[in-house]
Structure 1
Amino acid sequence: MIKQLIRVGFFALFVFQDLSAQNQKPLYLDDTKPIDARVEDALKRMTLDEKIAIIHAQSKFSSPGVARLGIPENWMTDGPHGIRSEVKWDEWDQAGWTNDSCIAFPALTALAATWNRDLSSLYGKSIGEEARFRNKNVLLGPGVNIYRTPLNGRNFEYMGEDPFLSGQMVVPYVKGVQSNGVAACVKHFALNNQETERHGVDVIVDDRTLYEIYLPAFKAAVIDGQAWAIMGAYNKYKGQHLCHNQYLLNDVLRGEWGFKGVVISDWGGVHDTKQAITNGLDMEFGSWTDGLAWGKSNAYDGYYLAKPYKALIEKGEFGTKELDEKVRRVLRLSFLTTMDKNRPFGSFGSEEHGLAGRKIAQEGIVLLKNDRSVLPVDLKKTKRIAVIGENAIKMMTVGGGSSSLKAKYEISPLDGLKKRVGKEADVVYARGYVGDASGNYNGVVTGQNLEEKRSAAELLAEAKNVARSADVVIVFGGLNKSDFQDSEGNDRKGLELPYNQDNLIKELVKVNKNLVFVNISGNAVAMPWINEVPSVVQGWFLGSEGGNALADVLVGDVNPSGKITFSFPVKLSDNSAHSIGEFPGGKTVNYSEGLFVGYRHHDKSKIKPLFPFGHGLSYTTFEYGKVTADKKSMAASDKITFTVAVKNTGKREGSEIVQLYISDLKSSLPRPVKELKGFEKVTLKAGETKNVSITIDKSALSFFDDKKHDWVAEPGDFEAIIGASSANIKSKVKFTLQ
């Protein structure tokens, strides 16, 4: 902190000295001028050492500005679910601040499950305000890597298996963050779909699959969201690490998409100075140094884009053309963020942000199954509620890797339910199983003592006894953020629930049929007991207000409206990557399933999933009319609108997500049976009917022709399919592209 205060003072001193020698204000300080002109003016004033300095780190999470010119440092913060607590300058240990406890927002899996673009905007705006208040000008998020396998440890940070949905949800998030003068750094670009061998695995994928499945969400963030930063991935593609990858960074990101922002390395993702110079990287962070390579000098000078780069310039092996391009982009970042005098001040840990997180969590919770209407819990008829499971009490904001947070508070499911139920019913808790008793990640300590001396048999006996005497049993289980679960660094070892939870659930339902299983996770899990358990809820990692949001839905104060954004397979071999043995690979992993990820694979192979993509129930019911098109034939330059009437046929207000899938009935290349190309979330009062319209253009009909290296929409017959999920089809209409 003292270092930072000294630097601020030096900035002011140097700026004063620099300006006092001139009769007029330098162009780079004149924010009425175009940014490009200001960048060029600042660039020509910089020395070689200053240029080298600003393209690599000076601490764990910061890079230098140009003190002499009054250009501030850049400060990064991990996201994308909250603002990470402060660590020491050169270490991962906690800095010991007492005012860096943030609001923990729901994981991005939960945000995506809302299918609500407005909530994505609210999320981005809120977390951007938290970052701005903490004086961070780059938020390391959101993540939009595609859900290829349910074993990926980082799936909880992403937005699901469908590129269209991910693209639609990432754009408002990016715009919301950047409205605060904070850059969204969209990650991890690209093909970063596993943690196993993540630093070296080379992904083999055909161009068509790359462009149709793995790039669209990034493209949307760049072109529609106008993201100011992109983070490279750890893995390789075409034999090159993705933090300095000629094809994806130079040819695609900058060449095809026209990206003007900064490419930032993932921490430790840089491996070669010459490739880092030429292959699209701008800012290097987290490279591993021993602190001794340059004697007593700063270890950060040993980074690939530090002294080694300068030495190559001094030897004449490189000019300054590439360096100047990098510096231009970093300066542009500064002028958009720290040098923008009109950027708002932000706010941190506020009640408003807590309520935003609660609203997002409420809409993201998914009711997967509800036989016999066990939910919502009727407090007029219920006298005793049994709550069972470690996940009812375990704090989930700590752990999971770089998204681990030091939250200002976290409402557990048990506490949220007790608070809501109050004196209306008794809430009795039993542990049921022991998972992870620890509560310490990177020096952030929950303070919970979850140690358990009783045996598994004793815990099971207690749980059954509590369940037997209850009117309803709610089991909070699933995964946690420990290694080999939902956590950065390692992938899951299997699809099954850990800690022998399957046996617990099977035993509990024998003594009480009114059982609800709440799956706290960012991943699909196997449910071998599904036919015996009447109600299942997908509860995600919901952040500070998670317990309150879950209680809101479980007792019916809020009608669930979320829908899952990835398929739940019955067994692991029902997933396409696993069905062909292409996960996790070794030094290479071959995406030979191609386009057929998630529901695309299930459709093609006629596999019935446990729960299909886009599935989610409500406490009310909806009736769909017949979809109509505003024209039977469209020209390539036209748009076409599909309209369907949706009626709430139940007794309470609810929201339904109308999904539009497009099927190409005859194509020169193999295509999925159908693909999501539109959706709208509509809220209806009991008995109310609304017309829902979704408009598409020819881009929704196009596929990527790798031989032409272009998007192609072939004339012919198509079908528009309206569904309540990818498997629950309501109506179809044919149309023709001329």
Structure 2
Amino acid sequence: MKKLLFVVFLFTLISFNQVYAQTNNKSMDNKIEDILKQLTLKEKLDLCHAQSKFSSKGVARLGIPEIWMSDGPHGVRAEIAWDSWEHAGWTNDSCTAFPALTCLAATFNTDLSYKYGKAIGEEARYRKKDILLGPGVNIYRTPLNGRNFEYMGEDPYLASKMVVPYIHGVQENGVAACVKHYALNNQEHWRDHINVEISDRALYEIYLPAFKAAVQEGKVWSIMGAYNQFRGQYCCHNELLVNKILKGDWAFDGVLVTDWGATHDTKQAALYGLDIEMGTGTDGLTSSQKNAYDNYFMANPLLKMVKAGEIDESVIDEKVRRVLRLMFRTTMNKSRPFGSMNSEEHFNVAREIAQEGIVLLKNKNNFFPIDPKKTQTIAVIGENATKIMTLGGGSSELKTIHEISPLEGIQKRFKNAKVLHAMGYASGPSVYGRVIDSKLNTDSLKTEAIKIAKKADIVLFVGGLNKNHHQDCEGDDRKHFSLPFGQDNLLNEILKVNSNTAVILVSGNAVEMPWLSKVDAVLQTWYLGSEAGNAIADIISGDINPSGKLPFSFPVKLEDNAAHSFGKIAYPGDGTNQEYKEDILVGYRWHDTKNIKPLYAFGYGLSYTSFTVLEAQTDQSTYQKNELITVSCEIKNTGDKKGAEVIQLYVSDLEASVLRPLKELKSFKKIVLNPGESKTITLEISTNDLAYFDDSMMDWKLEKGRFKLLIGTSSQDIEKTITIEVN
């Protein structure tokens, strides 16, 4: 009887919540319509474009507030001046710098993604921001893309699963996440005009799923359009991408915001779904014209077109409804929390994400962990051991309260050791949009590095990329796949005098490793934010067992990457057009299907312990359409340390009538086990997840036949295989 009463109560509560939500939505819609009736045409248009670098107008006479935005997605950017890109000079705008999103993706931990979103959302709310411009979910297509560090890797399933909890965490604070850059912004070179040509199948299978998940599962309140063109129309006012797919098929009820300066045509902006125009004419009010903001495409030019009858005012009303809906969710939401800034909890979240995202790539003879109690000499060599990484990168630059460098973290943790440091190489100042060579003497830096390497018991080479122009930075792509600033040569010279050397890579991208066979260990550490040095020390000391997995493939050489296998038309394009000739075979899909062995595979990452999948089975062997497939796996920690493993489930279509990748990720789960402990986990997928996009019918198609379920610890390390039948 008690169980029955509880079920009745639960059903009543759910029904009440549904009715309450519907009532709230109806109440909001009624308020929006009331406001709409009171607005002049000029006031409506003022809501649809910028009034400063990072804000849009309200309606003062009606008490409708402005909308304030801030760059993300790794922290809340320092305040920018009203009408220029200069810093405003505030003293209270330092933030917690969280790890870059490549690191978050490498955790393969959706719970951490929620923690990340909640913490950064609290910081945005405290700073009175209404829209946080992030997260980014553009697919990692080439390792040269300067902005890959802001995204969630090469796999659409992984990106989809990681973006949703991030959005939930941010928006709980009454701050809109703004998922970017919609869509196909997969390079920085020529980003402001390059026209992308791609098959419908690749569009729907690879490049749209994370955006779709953000809208339909994440319920995101805003989306940022991309700079580039798609099939001849700019993405911020693209009839197919915005009107048909985003606002039509996916029923997105939020606001489409331009990237800064990505609007190009008044009529298209009006008719093809743009809601808020930002950054057009970046000199703003400093223009020689009376008011540059009034001359935005969606300002006076659109006002004239509506008055002339060329565009119906109802088109503007639809945009205003969306903007007001965003306001009721954010700046006019009286019940939203106050937020918090730079709390100990936020720094702990940043550190936890960094710890779980660091990937151990190589560990010959158990080089790591290093005993912090041991008396020895450690040479820490490399500019990246001390270089501040939160300052560069373009719009993701941050002003943080502190950034613990790798050197500082190592010095604090290894107090019994004598820690020596030499730069070894130098990159020059961090300047956005320009490359400035260092004035330091290269030979002197190298000589000093080799000198301390000879003295040391072990060498930790802290190198990689940085966030300067032509590195991991907005505005352009990398020029080379190799390490910059002579690092490869320096490493070879160090190895001649001390073979007991490990490499700690700081980067948001894959790099070439011609020295790999000679070094004892390699640690991929990303850009880790405020707690970078502490998290690195946590891993190399063994206080934390590494559990990160690569969210993208590391090719042996650049030509092994799919985008670089078809000549310049595939990357970077001919200056006007670009063709994604690799189609659906992106990342590990390309390596596996074409049998091109990667240097390190998608999903790969070592631990200080070992794991094995003891058994795996499905609940049945034959399935129908719309049916759930449940896979149970028993995993055992066969080593002597507590650790975490990511079990990954890939699917292979054995009887496909079209080209399909050899395998595709469809589920994953991270599990923590004590030494000798084993646990059984379940992974669930729908048979609908086995479908491919059939561009002849413009819909998803599930074919009957046999499928393999591949259970492993990376795309290359498959431990168990199960064959099922789909009718």
**TM class, shorter-length:** over 0.9
Matched AA of 1:561: S
1:655 maps to 644
2:11 maps to none
> Is residue 2:362 matched to residue 1:369?
yes
The structure-2 alpha-carbon separation of the partners of 1:610 and 1:319, relative to structure 1 and needing over 3 Å to count, comes to same
Is the 2:197–2:230 contact (alpha carbons within 8 Å) kept by the matching residues of 1?
yes
1:432 maps to 424
The structure-2 alpha-carbon separation of the partners of 1:452 and 1:294, relative to structure 1 and needing over 3 Å to count, comes to closer
**Secondary structure of the structure 2 residue equivalent to 1:263:** strand
The structure-2 alpha-carbon separation of the partners of 1:597 and 1:32, relative to structure 1 and needing over 3 Å to count, comes to closer
Is the 1:630–1:641 contact (alpha carbons within 8 Å) kept by the matching residues of 2?
yes
2:480 maps to 494
> Is residue 2:591 matched to residue 1:584?
no
1:334-483 matches, within 5 Å, as 334-422=327-415, 424-436=416-428, 438-439=429-430, 453=440, 455-483=441-469
Matched AA of 2:689: A
Is the 2:651–2:707 contact (alpha carbons within 8 Å) kept by the matching residues of 1?
yes
Is the 2:427–2:437 contact (alpha carbons within 8 Å) kept by the matching residues of 1?
no
TM-score, scaled relative to structure 2: 0.94
Matches of 1:482 and 1:295 in 2, distance apart? Answer: 32
1:255 maps to 248
Identity of aligned residues (%): 56
Matched AA of 1:602: H
Matches of 1:506 and 1:716 in 2, distance apart? Answer: 53
Matches of 2:52 and 2:283 in 1, distance apart? Answer: 14
Matches of 1:221 and 1:164 in 2, distance apart? Answer: 12
2:36 maps to 43
Is the 1:626–1:732 contact (alpha carbons within 8 Å) kept by the matching residues of 2?
no
The structure-2 alpha-carbon separation of the partners of 1:639 and 1:195, relative to structure 1 and needing over 3 Å to count, comes to same
Q: State the Cα distance separating 1:67 from its structure 2 match.
A: 1.4
2:627 maps to 638
**Secondary structure of the structure 2 residue equivalent to 1:386:** strand
1:106 maps to 99
The structure 1 residue matched to 2:657, chosen from 668, 672, 678, is 668
Structure 1: stretches of 5+ with no match in the other structure:
1-29, 444-448
> Is residue 2:322 matched to residue 1:329?
yes
**Secondary structure of the structure 2 residue equivalent to 1:387:** strand
**Secondary structure of the structure 1 residue equivalent to 2:241:** helix
Q: State the Cα distance separating 1:456 from its structure 2 match.
A: 2.3
Q: State the Cα distance separating 1:32 from its structure 2 match.
A: 9.2
Structure 2: stretches of 5+ with no match in the other structure:
1-22
Matches of 1:637 and 1:292 in 2, distance apart? Answer: 56
Matched AA of 1:65: G
Q: State the Cα distance separating 1:509 from its structure 2 match.
A: 1.7
The structure 2 residue matched to 1:88, chosen from 60, 78, 81, is 81
> Is residue 2:550 matched to residue 1:564?
yes
Is the 2:194–2:229 contact (alpha carbons within 8 Å) kept by the matching residues of 1?
yes
| Deviation string, structure 1 residues 534-593 (Cα, Å, up to 9, x no partner) | 100001000011011001001111000000100000000000110111110121110011
Matches of 1:699 and 1:469 in 2, distance apart? Answer: 61
| Deviation string, structure 1 residues 665-699 (Cα, Å, up to 9, x no partner) | 01111100000000000000011001121011023
Matches of 1:553 and 1:734 in 2, distance apart? Answer: 38
1:511 maps to 497
The structure 2 residue matched to 1:306, chosen from 299, 311, 319, is 299
The structure-2 alpha-carbon separation of the partners of 1:634 and 1:33, relative to structure 1 and needing over 3 Å to count, comes to closer
Matches of 1:633 and 1:33 in 2, distance apart? Answer: 45
Q: State the Cα distance separating 1:604 from its structure 2 match.
A: 1.2
**Secondary structure of the structure 1 residue equivalent to 2:379:** strand
Matched AA of 1:417: I
2:683 maps to 694
**Secondary structure of the structure 2 residue equivalent to 1:626:** strand
Matches of 1:308 and 1:440 in 2, distance apart? Answer: 36
Matched AA of 1:431: M
Q: State the Cα distance separating 1:230 from its structure 2 match.
A: 0.4
1:233 maps to 226
Matched AA of 1:484: H
How many residues of Structure 1 are paired with residues of Structure 2 in the alignment? Answer: 701
Matches of 1:715 and 1:79 in 2, distance apart? Answer: 44
The structure 1 residue matched to 2:506, chosen from 504, 516, 520, is 520
Is the 1:396–1:481 contact (alpha carbons within 8 Å) kept by the matching residues of 2?
yes
The structure-2 alpha-carbon separation of the partners of 1:494 and 1:296, relative to structure 1 and needing over 3 Å to count, comes to closer
CA RMSD of aligned residues (A): 1.7
Matched AA of 1:89: W
1:718 maps to 707
The structure 2 residue matched to 1:125, chosen from 99, 118, 124, is 118
**Secondary structure of the structure 2 residue equivalent to 1:476:** strand
Is the 1:293–1:302 contact (alpha carbons within 8 Å) kept by the matching residues of 2?
no
2:16 maps to none
1:164-175 matches, within 5 Å, as 164-175=157-168
Matches of 2:671 and 2:116 in 1, distance apart? Answer: 20
Matches of 1:89 and 1:681 in 2, distance apart? Answer: 45
Q: State the Cα distance separating 1:510 from its structure 2 match.
A: 2.0
TM-score, scaled relative to structure 1: 0.93
The structure-2 alpha-carbon separation of the partners of 1:480 and 1:292, relative to structure 1 and needing over 3 Å to count, comes to closer
Q: State the Cα distance separating 1:376 from its structure 2 match.
A: 0.6
Q: State the Cα distance separating 1:381 from its structure 2 match.
A: 3.7
**Secondary structure of the structure 1 residue equivalent to 2:409:** helix
> Is residue 2:699 matched to residue 1:707?
no
1:5 maps to none
**Secondary structure of the structure 2 residue equivalent to 1:80:** coil
2:527 maps to 541
Is the 1:124–1:173 contact (alpha carbons within 8 Å) kept by the matching residues of 2?
yes
Is the 1:396–1:541 contact (alpha carbons within 8 Å) kept by the matching residues of 2?
yes
The structure-2 alpha-carbon separation of the partners of 1:294 and 1:549, relative to structure 1 and needing over 3 Å to count, comes to closer
| Deviation string, structure 1 residues 12-33 (Cα, Å, up to 9, x no partner) | xxxxxxxxxxxxxxxxxx9796
The structure-2 alpha-carbon separation of the partners of 1:291 and 1:722, relative to structure 1 and needing over 3 Å to count, comes to closer
Is the 1:289–1:302 contact (alpha carbons within 8 Å) kept by the matching residues of 2?
no
Matches of 2:285 and 2:645 in 1, distance apart? Answer: 60
Q: State the Cα distance separating 1:450 from its structure 2 match.
A: 12
2:27 maps to 34
1:138 maps to 131
> Is residue 2:604 matched to residue 1:615?
yes
**Secondary structure of the structure 2 residue equivalent to 1:43:** helix
Q: State the Cα distance separating 1:452 from its structure 2 match.
A: 5.9
1:279-290 matches, within 5 Å, as 279-288=272-281
1:270-285 matches, within 5 Å, as 270-285=263-278
Matched AA of 2:459: V
Is the 1:145–1:214 contact (alpha carbons within 8 Å) kept by the matching residues of 2?
yes
Matches of 1:290 and 1:514 in 2, distance apart? Answer: 54
1:115 maps to 108
**Secondary structure of the structure 2 residue equivalent to 1:258:** coil
Q: State the Cα distance separating 1:299 from its structure 2 match.
A: 1.2
| Deviates further, 541-550 or 87-96 | 87-96
Matched AA of 2:526: W
**Secondary structure of the structure 1 residue equivalent to 2:121:** helix
| Deviates further, 507-516 or 238-247 | 507-516
Q: State the Cα distance separating 1:88 from its structure 2 match.
A: 1.2
The structure 2 residue matched to 1:221, chosen from 206, 214, 224, is 214
